[in-house]
A and B are shown apart, each in its own frame.
Chain A
């Protein structure tokens, strides 16, 4: 690894840990280098939380050059803010705290790099992370959540086995059709605002689309 860059691990067991900002500040204090790689492990970070991290780093004259994480949500959030990110595929042998293990069996993330083209079909028994566009005529489906680091222009089905808590996020959501669990919605007519990651989920029996930040 480049000796100028330092990898910082945000060590928080779950998103409710209240002191993570203090923890991060303490870590930054002891650092000499000002180019940072943030390793967020398997923690889901929203755009808002990532913005906060960036702000804290700025206070300590540090520059973040990359976010690493095994959470697709964190990857999509940091990417949508224009930061380089690296998806880490978790190996189950390491870090064997019991809680961690449980999480792993729950999310069997499938990972696809590149455009999904017309006529192609991707399926995942857990979450599905796609780095690339899902083109018109293509279909992607996951029993868990779907994260698209690109544009969704085809058909996506999250919670394909009935999980109505599943979500679909993308840098641009202009699908032909969206499905979450048993609900089906046609894509929005108007083109979405560019530069904002969006998310679709079920809210009171209806599929709604909103900017990713608010969740």
Chain B
């Protein structure tokens, strides 16, 4: 055990709120900042972290073979093509769900801890065994939610479970923020969400079509499209995770195209 590894569970309760997208983009961002980072796909039932990272075709072994001692850890790890600091440990086949125990997850994570600065665990939706196994192996957590009543309710449930298992810190990422809808009060506001969940807000991620484009290409936004609105949000989240003090975006300011363009102009170095 050489390095002080941070093991972070990325979870939500409700499905489809953006856990896997956050895991992939955070993985790329941290790797780019120079940290050796492993992303672990703990969603054995519906694995797709490999797809988002564009690594599907390079998988030979998975966490399953590592646990069954049919291969070594480094044989199963898939290194990212462009960001060599980033590696994926793929999920085994869905039948793993039948026998996997919390201790198995701990074993896998302990192995990863020996080599990496960061271990990010992409958690399955729900609060059943998949979540409980993943939680057993983690120290801290990021809860992802959307500004919707049902997503917030499920996030609250998950936070309760994380608290009773002494996971800390637990931080919040609010994904798919639409400034216009928020301004028109058609969507829960940031205050509505943080009031209920009572967690420190690690960041907001704006709704961004580019996310979908990048998903289909297997290239996380933070890899090549760093100027897209969501990519900036992901980069800021990675920096805040390091303790950098970066102010949150104000959705109200993102509304007028002019305002946004104007600010971008101001940020460009002219001299």
Which residue numbers of A lie inside 8 Å of B, CB to CB? Answer: 114-115, 117-120, 133, 135-137, 153
Contacts and interface: CB of A to CB of B under 8 A. Distances in A.
Interface in B122-142: 127
Interface residues of B, number: 10
A199 B127 CA distance: 35
Contacts of A120: 160
A11 to B, nearest CB: 39
Contacts of A119: 127, 156-157, 160
A151 B70 CA distance: 54
A120 B160 CA distance: 8
Contacts of B2: none
A153 B196 contact: yes
Contacts of B153: 118, 136-137
B198 interface: yes
Contacts of A114: 163
Contacts of B196: 133, 135-136, 153
A136 B157 CA distance: 10
B211 interface: no
A110 to B, nearest CB: 17
19 contacts: A114-B163, A117-B156, A117-B157, A117-B159, A117-B160, A117-B163, A118-B153, A118-B154, A118-B156, A118-B157, A118-B160, A119-B127, A119-B160, A120-B160, A135-B156, A136-B196, A137-B153, A137-B156, A153-B196
Given A118-B154, A135-B196, 10 more contacts: A114-B163, A117-B159, A118-B156, A118-B157, A119-B127, A119-B160, A120-B160, A136-B153, A137-B153, A137-B157
Interface of B: 127, 153-154, 156-157, 159-160, 163, 196, 198
A135 B196 CA distance: 7
Contacts of B160: 117-120
B67 to A, nearest CB: 31
A115 B194 CA distance: 13
A136 B156 contact: yes
A215 B159 CA distance: 36
A153 B149 CA distance: 13
Contacts of B157: 117-119, 137
Nearest to A137: B153
A118 B157 CA distance: 5
B42 to A, nearest CB: 21
A135 B158 CA distance: 13
Nearest to B127: A119
Nearest to A117: B160
Contacts of A115: 198
A212 B18 CA distance: 43
Nearest to A119: B157
A115 B127 CA distance: 19
Nearest to A150: B198
A124 B268 CA distance: 61
The 3 closest A-B pairs by CB, nearest first: A117-B160, A118-B156, A119-B157
Residue picked from A114, A118, A136, most chain B C-beta under 10 Å: A118
Nearest to A153: B196
B130 to A, nearest CB: 17
A117 B157 CA distance: 6
Nearest to A115: B198
A119 B156 CA distance: 8
Contacts of B163: 114, 117
B152 to A, nearest CB: 8
A117 B170 CA distance: 14
Contacts of A137: 153, 156-157
Contacts of A153: 196
A114 to B, nearest CB: 8
A136 B159 CA distance: 13
A62 to B, nearest CB: 35
A137 B154 CA distance: 9
A150 to B, nearest CB: 10
A136 B195 CA distance: 12
Residue picked from A117, A133, A135, most chain B C-beta under 10 Å: A117
